[in-house]
Amino acid sequence: MYTAEEFRQDVIANIKGNSEFSPLVESILQNSKFQFNDTSYFTRVIWNTYERNLVIFCAPEDRIELEKYKDPLYSLCSKIHGNQDDYLIMSLEIIAKNHISPVTNATSMTDDKITITTSIEIDRSSTNNIGHGGFGTVYKYYDEEKEELIAVKIYEPSIFQNSSPEIMKKRFLREGKKLLSYSHPNVVKAFDYGFLGDESAYIKMEYISGDRLSDFVLSNKPLNPALIDTLCYQYIDAMSYIHSQTDMHRDISYSNVMVTKANEIKVLDFGFARNADDTNYDTEYKDIQRKFVIPNEKYTFRTEVYCIGAILYTLITGNTFDDYNPDSIDESECNFKLKEAVKICLSLKPEKRFSDAVELKKFVQKSDTVIIPHNFSLDFFKKMLSESVILHFYPKNLPTKEIIAEWLDNKYREHIKSSAFQSTVNLLSLLNHISGVTKITFYKNVKYDLDKTPFIELLNFYDTLSDEMKELFIRNILLIILEVSKDDDLDLPFC
């Protein structure tokens, strides 16, 4: 049975990074209690389903904030809940309870500590301070829930920034939202963001143990050719992913690319990132430190490709870009195709460069060997379904290849896109979009808010396939789904 507490956790997971709601709404729901009030009345929405009313209990101080978002909250709750245990949510009521501690104005920051919630307090001592930049200070913190160190970036802008504090804070929160929308192994992962009192804000991210790229290269030169190839391809793949979202990083530097202890690339710091279609961006261009950009060149995707080339140059030659020498590229023992790609990236004329990192990635993949391997497998999908759900369909109405193709090409894609600002995806909501599903039976003690990364990788891999291979891929997904499907006898609620 789907409990109210399980549902509350699902709602919180879907609100993370959702632009329809303020960051405070998530914090309030974290501190709230959900209750189902079930009736014996049939709904007129789906056959054989009953009315379920949702009640959210919160502190009196927090009720006003939730009431502001009651309509979109009800819409989201209805979508997430769907048809569970033969019930549909038909109403939402918000009730204040004095015994619940308020969240509003609970966050604070002093000279000694930072309080994000009543259970998360960060000591601002020098031992926890791990970095400072134009937007703020980064602290490390042990998250008991995740049982690991995380990094918390606090909004404390540099006095040397030219923009107003209001614009800087807005930009900081936009960075948190953007990071939550990303899902790539070589891009820093964000877990949460929100306001910190009235003047500040925070972003919770994965803690990265390693060195900034230039320090790593200079202290370990000469790098092994195989390691050079690996790091370069990871960086290209990360930047290709960012460009595929039609985003530009706009602040590429050695400090914003790290190499972990496991020799993995991590791209950081998206405070100046901008979507190419964003016409309301408020960053003053003079705020951006144009570290690798040719003077007087308007910043475009081709400009960013030049900056990517500067990073790749350092990786393959072992020298910083300040000591740029074109001849040193040919002296590198790395992959030939990679050296040619760097030369194209560093062309002085923008029109001679790759149009973006997506084109760069395709270029390096055209070698005789597969440079960026596609070791994608549907094993995760098969294991996940077999251990989680049973899909019910009307008699003799099990899904076909055409139904699965339509689901993957449209509904699956739309669902992933609609959760752009979330780090998880709800499995039940995703499967509910398969045409013909009448009910989903799910196993107890199984989490249904799952890391979105493999779901995105599935879609990205599918998009790279030829039409013939796509058909084979869909057949494999169909077989996996059929293994957990059954066609039921038609059970009418009344005659």
HEC profile of 275-303: ECCCCCCCCCHHHCCCCCCCCCCCCCHHH
70/115 same-domain check: no
Per-residue model confidence (pLDDT) at position 339: 93
179/203 Cα distance (integer angstroms): 9
pTM: 0.59
Q: How much is the average pLDDT of 412-435?
A: 84
Residue 181 burial (CB count, 10 A) = 18
Greatest Cα pair distance, the chain, in angstroms, is 84
Q: Is residue 150's pLDDT more than 80?
A: yes
The CATH code of the domain that includes 270 is 1.10.510.10
Q: What is the mean pLDDT of residues 122-127?
A: 76
| Mean per-residue pLDDT over the chain, rounded | 84
Name the 3-class secondary structure at 200. strand
User: pLDDT at position 414, please?
Assistant: 87
Both 271 and 172 in one domain: the answer is no
198 and 226 belong to one structural domain: no
Q: Measured between alpha carbons, how far is 352 from 332 in angstroms, rounded to an integer?
A: 23
232 vs 425: which has the higher pLDDT: 232
| Together in a domain, 393 and 342 | no
Cβ atoms 133, 141 nearer than 8 A: no
Q: How confident is the model at residue 326 (pLDDT cuts 50, 70, 90)?
A: very high
CATH number, domain of 64, equals 3.30.300
For residues 477 and 460, give the distance between their C-alpha atoms in angstroms, rounded to a whole number.
Answer: 15
Q: Are residues 25 and 57 in the same domain?
A: yes
Locate 110 and state its tokens.
Answer: 């002093």
What would the 3-class secondary structure string for 8-37 be?
HHHHHHHHCCCCCCCHHHHHHHHCCEEEEE
Measure the CA–CA gap between 260 and 208, rounded to whole angstroms.
Answer: 7
Residue where one domain finishes, among candidates 334, 364, 394: 364
* Mean pLDDT of the region 398-409: 93
* More confident position, 314 or 436: 314
pLDDT number for residue 487? 80
Q: What is the pLDDT of residues 157-204, one digit of tens each?
A: 665 566 677 777 778 888 888 898 898 999 999 888 877 765 778 888
67 lies in the same domain as 141 = no
Give 309's DSSP letter.
Answer: H
User: Is residue 371 pLDDT above 60, yes or no?
Assistant: no
How do strand 148-155 and strand 190-196 relate by DSSP bridges? Answer: unpaired
Q: What DSSP element (H or E) covers 190?
A: strand 190-196
On whether the CB atoms of residues 130 and 154 are closer than 8 A, the answer is no
Residue 225 sits at φ, ψ, to 5 deg, of: -50, -40
Does some domain include residue 373?
no
Q: What span, in angstroms and rounded, lies between the C-alpha atoms of 22 and 69? A: 9
Q: How far apart are CA 186 and CA 265, in angstroms?
A: 5
Q: Structurally, how many domains does the chain consist of?
A: 4
Torsion-angle region of 48 (φ positive above 0: left; ψ -120 to 50: alpha; else: beta): left
At residue 186's C-alpha, the angle toward residues 23 and 428, to 5°, is 55
Query: Do 231 and 351 sit in the same domain of this protein?
Result: yes
Residues 137 and 121 in one domain: yes
Tell me: do 37 and 60 sit in the same domain: yes
> pLDDT tens for residues 52-106?
999 999 998 888 889 888 999 999 999 899 888 889 999 999 999 998 877 765 5
Q: Binding site annotation covers 470?
A: no
Query: Does residue 369 sit within a domain?
Result: no
Sequence-ordered list of residues with C-beta below 8 angstroms from that of 48, at least 6 positions apart, any chain? 42, 86, 491, 492, 493
Q: Which amino acid is at 428?
A: L
Asked if residue 252 lies in contact with residue 290, where contact means CB atoms within 8 angstroms, the answer is no
User: How confident is the model over 429-437, as a mean pLDDT?
Assistant: 90
Higher pLDDT, 429 or 95: 95
Give the helix/strand (H/E) hosting 460. helix 453-464
Residue that wins the pLDDT comparison between 410 and 375: 410
**Mean pLDDT within 359-385:** 73
Contacts of 283 (CB under 8 A, 6+ apart): 163, 167, 171, 272, 274
Q: How far apart are CA 361 and CA 183, in angstroms?
A: 18
Which of 299, 334, 364 terminates a domain? The answer is: 364
pLDDT for 19 equals: 66
In a domain? residue 202 = yes
Q: Model confidence at 288, in pLDDT bands (50, 70, 90)?
A: low
Q: What share of the chain has pLDDT > 70, as a percent?
A: 87
Max avg pLDDT among 135-139, 356-360, 443-447, 453-457: 356-360
- Distance in angstroms (rounded) separating the CA atoms of residues 118 and 373: 45
Domain stop point among 206, 233, 268: 206
Q: 144: domain CATH number?
A: 3.30.200.20
Whether 348 and 393 map to the same domain: the answer is no
CA distance 176 to 135: 12
Report angle CA 26, 13, 270 to the nearest 5 degrees: 80
Write out the residue range of the structural domain in which residue 159 sits. Answer: 108-206
Average pLDDT score over residue span 12-31:
81
The per-residue pLDDT for range 205-217, each reduced to its tens digit, is 999 999 999 999 9
CA–CA separation, 314 and 323 (whole Å)? 10
For residue 371, being part of any structural domain is answered with no
- Looking at the structure, tell me whether residues 271 and 242 fall in a common domain: yes
Does residue 226 sit in the same domain as residue 339? yes
For residues 396 and 280, what is the distance between their CA atoms, to the nearest angstrom? Answer: 52
Amino acid 281: pLDDT:
57
**What one-letter code names the amino acid at 9?**
Q
